[in-house]
Structure 1
Amino acid sequence: MGRWPASWEQEMQSTVNYLWHTDDLLGQGATASVYKARNKKSGELVAVKVFNTASYLRPREVQVREFEVLRKLNHQNIIKLFAVEEMGASRQKALVMEYCASGSLLSVLESPENAFGLPEDEFLVVLRCVVAGMNHLRENGIVHRDIKPGNIMRLVGEEGQSIYKLTDFGAARELDDDEKFVSVYGTEEYLHPDMYERAVLRKPQQKAFGVAVDLWSIGVTLYHAATGSLPFVPFGGPRRNKEIMYRITTEKPAGAIAGTQRLENGPLEWSYTLPVTCQLSMGLQIQLVPILANILEVEQAKCWGFDQFFAETSDILQRVVVHVFSLPQAVVHHVYIHAHNTIAIFLEAVYKQTNVAPQHQEYLFEGHLCVLESSLSAQHIAHTTASSPLTLFSMVSETPKGLAFRDPALDIPKFVPKVDLQADYNTAKGVLGAGYQALRLAQALLAGQELMLRGLYWFVFSNMAGVTEIQELKRAAELRSKLRTLAEVLSRCSHNITETKMTLSNLSSELMKNRDQVHEDRSIQQIQCCLDKMYLIYKQFKKSRMRPGLGYNEEQIHKLDKVNFSHLAKRLLQVFQEERVQKYQASLVTHGKRMRVVHETRNHLRLVGCSVAACNTEAQGAQESLSKILDWLSHQLLQDRTKGAQASPPPTAPYPSPALKDLVLHMQELCKEMKVLASDLQDNNRVIEGLSRVPSAPDI
């Protein structure tokens, strides 16, 4: 069997059971390096943490603390410790741990597609895993002291789901909720301000720190995961302007979750909400922002404790999401509720996000009427998705505002004229991040346009269905010669119904035509094509930045790539603006006009219904009067016959008997006609009442 090359062997390191090459570096810190290694017998991949000589200058109890902490922990969201081994003659300690092939949360956030934060589903996975891991630490009396995205590892489960695990317990120690510590650890952007003051600004102070320092770090980490950016950023960045960084964190007003300084020596600006570029829905933001505000609190007395943090985050994670597309706003909302909540609570939550009062809310699901009884459990609400939401219609007309977003062109950096490999890489990464944001927005706008057309079509179709059934009003109109007082009203109703049906039929045809045009839209594919080409150039820039320099020909190619990259970015934004944004805004205006037509039609039909109901009431009253008259005449006729049979002298009657018989027969015929008319009016009244309820509509 051949030997390893000499140079290769020099780079190989091992313990009794594990082997690794120094090129397989996963991460490096002040006291240790982490490598990808293999089990010598099974070939299983592991991560090995090797401590350097600087680590042995620390006190003995600090050196062994990480081993002891990891041995105490056992949780799916905490990195697993397999063994503690020694390296040959040097006797250096090596921790053998679980290997996470997908990198860290930081590497996920560093990807250009996550430049503006994680998608909502992935953010919830991060939240669930971090909360579960931290809960296990607190149950075991452990404070981590270095929570940050780089210390949260990601692996992919058997079903393709992300699993995040807390790692790097070099700064961890045992600490109960009421205990304090004075030593300083951590990464400065994520440090609690009190620790930052001593560790970064080197200002002497006698403050002791509690477990709340982990909560601050969690708050910064969650903000970073939600937005792709740090919450507290002085001009020039946190590492350049440390005094301003400290000012931002300590002067932050209550309730604020972010602070920035946009200009050198400029004012501090505070934010109480997540940025519009964030991918999290407003429904989730409503739940999350109060948590961030209360753990990003510099005064430890005002900051939440872990018990409240766990209670509030668990409350979010136990909720279910109901997707609601609001036709009045033309926006998809995520409504977070508990399954045990009543539908009344759901309707109120919808009101908070849409401003449509519960009594004005009407719902369809996949074209079917969805009657939501306030007293029932929310479990009765259909299972929804973003592409198959509940469709909300408001009985109050308003102008649709559409999806609020920031133009990605505002976030695109410019290349510097000279060749600077690191700067060119950073610029390409920023442009690519904005490109991915444009793609997501284009997809959201197209989906919104589709939901506008589909939802409105369902409501139009439902009204057409009611109009078709009400054609029987024409039969009632033919009776106008017998009941002139009702004939005029019924005739107008019949005419109005015919006009309404024609209006809705034209609108339905127009919606179908627009739907076909949306299906033929190719802007998403064009944006994706630009992004794919840009990503290849970005990868080349990423590779080139690691080199000391470029040859003449390579430099010329690099310059051409910069030009090509800029052209592609310009084309991408042009497609986004002209093919997606402009079409979406035009469709929003048309959607508003159509919504007004539907509102006017529905209100008109309600008036027709009221007219028919009034006719019905009058007909019933006339029928009752005729019945009473007929009963009296029949009684009179019967009396005449009885007296005649007794051969008594004929009494003086108000009407002669033959005339009385004719009148009875005439009244009987009129009564029959009244019954038929009353029956028709009752049937038509029921049909019109049905217009306030929405029957099923076909898919389009």
Structure 2
Amino acid sequence: MQSTPNYLWSTEDLLGQGATASVYKARNKKSGELVAVKVFNNASYLRPHEVQMREFEMLRKLNHKNIVKLFAVEETGSSKQKVLVMEYCSSGSLLNVLEDPANAFGLAESEFLIVLQCVVAGMNHLRENGVVHRDIKPGNIMRLVGEDGQSIYKLTDFGAARELEDDEKFVSVYGTEEYLHPDVYERAVLRKPQQKAFGVTVDLWSIGVTFYHAATGSLPFVPFGGPRRNKEIMYKITTEKPPGAIAGIQRQENGNIEWSYELPVTCRLSTGLKDQLIPVLANILEVDQEKCWGFDQFFAGTNDILHRIVVDVFSLQQASSHRIYIHSYNTTAKFLDAVFKQTNIAPHHQEYFFEGHLYELDPNLQAHNFCRTTESSPLTLLSTSEQPEDVLGVRYRDPALDFPKLVPRVDVVADCSAAKSAVGAAHQTLRVGQALRRGRELLARGLQWVIGNLRSECCRILEQRRGAQAVLACLQLTQGKTLVLFQAVPGGSRDPAGVDVLETRLQRVDQELSQCSHSVFDFQGALDGILAELLKDRQQVHEDKSIQQMEWCLEKMQGIYKQFKKARTCLSEWSVTCDLQLNNSIIERLGGAAPTPSV
């Protein structure tokens, strides 16, 4: 146990560890309140005094809901080591979230938007105070769950932070390899001498890599063998990246680099959000600091995304779901154009249903007055074009391609990694299955609405036909009376001109009305047949247990993965114990006193 005058913690309650400090879960001695304490090690005291004090000063200066709060600076009783007492974030870091196999292909759209909002708000507070963080990464973005059950993310670890205005530069290097701006990477990782100075935009590069990681579950720039095994290629990828590219991967040793200008299909973000996010990533993942966006542009671009509202749309003929991101003040015309961009259905061919009824969109109606939609209760789009629409369906990559190859030998570490990958692929398989099921249900429901609308239209036509039939009967009666009158007058034995023609026309109209009735009745019969098939299909969907079976299978796989994690942990502890015993044995042979091993 260790303590300061007001706080107490066990060294077993380690939350995180870095080069200069360790973070532990602690409690207030009087209130029992949980906090996090950052305890600095001996290496930290080798730094210049002003560098040691910088983090204390930074945290005292900052005060924002998306930055971890500093409660106190205290000293341990024995060694007089400085201790930062900070807000405790009970749900770990964004990195912990991304390491969950459920997020192997990135965060769900709703969670990603929370990350985006929190990081942007936290960074905005830093820039307002003239602070550059210099070590933005998922591990330095902490998470806690609010009273409403929603995540709150907070920036932490200001050990590398310093005050720097937009037009100022710095030359010292900090950060984590995979998230470093290439200019900093060249000097800090490759150890190449260069005289470049760095500006605040180095934070933007780190944010870009972090956002890409959060959106996809993977790093954007990956040489063959991984970023830490092939540092020269890592540098080559980031510095030779073409304008607009947001990712580059080398799949074979000494192979070509595959550039990507889009987020992968496995990404869980909708096309609507991807279209808004990709330009932001492209402009902050820019190696040339002169061409890279500044923070003003970054805040403008990200706030433009965050201030949009979402309208969910399901395209019936294409069997595809869409999310339309528009501003609340945008009118129907802007919305129809946005739908056209995703579906290729022209605005004048778009007809909508909502909750079973035809939904008329006034051209001047603003988006904030649209009906409130969700993924399971979208606007249903019907194309009135005579040309058949191409079926889009659910776009996905076969999850089977992401299941790992199992090695024939026993290797706990490799098996644990393979189990994690398999669980991640299983989660993706389940999501694809759920999306297909949801699409099938929306398709059946939308068709029912269209059929219901057509049946109502048929009833209206038949009602109009009955009205027309009554008018026709009156016309035929009038025509008969007219004929009698003409025949009653002198010379009336001769048929009046046009009376025969009128009678012929009325008879033809009568026949056409009868044919129309028969056609409408036949059409109603066909609709009833389709409706019966739909009801049968919905019953089959209800009886289908595929999703439940996948969930059961995933649950079993997660149990196996947990066993592998436990075995890996035990192996690590056993390895540490063996190392200690080996070291003790060597010391004893050399005549020294062996310390008591503890793990």
TM-score w.r.t. the length of structure 1 is 0.76
Report deviation, 1:497. Answer: 1.4
1:406 matched to 2:429? The reply is: no
1:507 matched to 2:538? The reply is: no
Q: Distance in 2 between matches of 1:401 and 1:179?
A: 50
Hey, what does 2:520 align to over in structure 1?
A: 497
Q: For 1:122-521, list aligned pairs within 5 A.
A: 122-396=111-385, 397-472=388-463, 473=465, 476=468, 479=472, 482=503, 483-521=506-544
Report deviation, 1:549. Answer: 8.2
Q: Distance in 2 between matches of 1:38 and 1:401?
A: 55
- Partner of residue 77 from structure 2, selected from 65, 68, 88: 88
2:79 maps to a residue whose letter is: S
2:536 maps to a residue whose letter is: K
Please tell me whether the aligned partners of residues 474 and 491 of structure 1 are also in contact (alpha carbons under 8 angstroms).
no
- Partner of residue 28 from structure 1, selected from 17, 25, 48: 17
Q: Distance in 2 between matches of 1:54 and 1:42?
A: 33
Q: Distance in 1 between matches of 2:320 and 2:273?
A: 15
Please tell me whether the aligned partners of residues 198 and 204 of structure 1 are also in contact (alpha carbons under 8 angstroms).
yes
When the two chains are superposed, the root-mean-square deviation of aligned CA atoms in Å is 1.4
Q: Distance in 2 between matches of 1:317 and 1:192?
A: 26
Report deviation, 1:416. Answer: 1.6
Please tell me whether the aligned partners of residues 477 and 494 of structure 1 are also in contact (alpha carbons under 8 angstroms).
no
Report deviation, 1:484. Answer: 2.8
1:497 maps to a residue whose letter is: V
Please tell me whether the aligned partners of residues 461 and 508 of structure 1 are also in contact (alpha carbons under 8 angstroms).
no
Q: Distance in 2 between matches of 1:125 and 1:301?
A: 30
Q: Distance in 2 between matches of 1:46 and 1:422?
A: 33
1:152 maps to a residue whose letter is: I
Structure 1 123/550 Cα, relative in aligned 2: closer, same or farther at 3 Å?
Answer: closer
Hey, what does 1:568 align to over in structure 2?
A: none
List per-residue Cα deviations over 1:392-414 (Å, max 9, x = no partner): 00012223221110111000002
Q: Distance in 1 between matches of 2:571 and 2:140?
A: 30
Q: For 1:568-607, list aligned pairs within 5 A.
A: none
Q: Distance in 2 between matches of 1:81 and 1:184?
A: 25
- Partner of residue 105 from structure 2, selected from 103, 108, 116: 116
Per mean C-alpha deviation after superposition, the further-off stretch among 210-219 and 400-409 is 400-409
1:205 maps to a residue whose letter is: Q
Hey, what does 2:481 align to over in structure 1?
A: none
Q: Distance in 2 between matches of 1:469 and 1:476?
A: 12
Please tell me whether the aligned partners of residues 77 and 166 of structure 1 are also in contact (alpha carbons under 8 angstroms).
yes
- Partner of residue 569 from structure 2, selected from 533, 546, 550: 546
Q: Distance in 2 between matches of 1:512 and 1:182?
A: 69
Hey, what does 1:59 align to over in structure 2?
A: 48
Hey, what does 1:605 align to over in structure 2?
A: none
Structure 1 40/475 Cα, relative in aligned 2: closer, same or farther at 3 Å?
Answer: closer
Report deviation, 1:495. Answer: 2.4
Report deviation, 1:550. Answer: 12
Structure 1 138/475 Cα, relative in aligned 2: closer, same or farther at 3 Å?
Answer: closer
1:451 maps to a residue whose letter is: L
Report deviation, 1:457. Answer: 1.1
- Partner of residue 560 from structure 2, selected from 530, 533, 537: 537
Report deviation, 1:475. Answer: 6.5
2:555 maps to a residue whose letter is: D
- Specify the SS of the correspondent of 1:376: coil
Q: Distance in 2 between matches of 1:477 and 1:550?
A: 92
- Specify the SS of the correspondent of 1:369: strand
1:438 maps to a residue whose letter is: T
Report deviation, 1:420. Answer: 1.0
- Specify the SS of the correspondent of 1:88: coil
Per mean C-alpha deviation after superposition, the further-off stretch among 55-64 and 481-490 is 481-490
Report deviation, 1:157. Answer: 0.5
Report deviation, 1:477. Answer: 5.2
- Specify the SS of the correspondent of 1:375: coil
Q: For 1:679-694, list aligned pairs within 5 A.
A: none
Report deviation, 1:343. Answer: 1.1
Report deviation, 1:474. Answer: 5.3
Q: Distance in 2 between matches of 1:376 and 1:170?
A: 51
Please tell me whether the aligned partners of residues 51 and 92 of structure 1 are also in contact (alpha carbons under 8 angstroms).
yes
Per mean C-alpha deviation after superposition, the further-off stretch among 398-407 and 152-161 is 398-407
Q: Distance in 1 between matches of 2:524 and 2:550?
A: 41
Extract unaligned runs of 5+ from structure 2: 477-502, 575-599
- Specify the SS of the correspondent of 2:256: coil
Hey, what does 1:523 align to over in structure 2?
A: 546
Number of positions where the alignment pairs a residue of Structure 1 with one of Structure 2:
540
- Specify the SS of the correspondent of 1:345: helix
Please tell me whether the aligned partners of residues 474 and 494 of structure 1 are also in contact (alpha carbons under 8 angstroms).
no
Report deviation, 1:485. Answer: 4.2
Structure 1 548/471 Cα, relative in aligned 2: closer, same or farther at 3 Å?
Answer: closer
Report deviation, 1:488. Answer: 3.7
1:71 matched to 2:60? The reply is: yes
- Specify the SS of the correspondent of 2:85: strand
Please tell me whether the aligned partners of residues 20 and 36 of structure 1 are also in contact (alpha carbons under 8 angstroms).
yes
- Specify the SS of the correspondent of 1:95: strand
Report deviation, 1:81. Answer: 0.3
- Specify the SS of the correspondent of 2:148: coil
- Specify the SS of the correspondent of 1:22: strand
Per mean C-alpha deviation after superposition, the further-off stretch among 414-423 and 473-482 is 473-482
Please tell me whether the aligned partners of residues 25 and 35 of structure 1 are also in contact (alpha carbons under 8 angstroms).
yes
Task: Please identify which structure carries the higher helix content.
Answer: 1
Q: Distance in 2 between matches of 1:354 and 1:471?
A: 35
Hey, what does 1:631 align to over in structure 2?
A: none
Q: Distance in 2 between matches of 1:261 and 1:85?
A: 48
Q: Distance in 1 between matches of 2:516 and 2:523?
A: 10
- Specify the SS of the correspondent of 2:559: helix
1:407 maps to a residue whose letter is: D
Per mean C-alpha deviation after superposition, the further-off stretch among 401-410 and 116-125 is 401-410
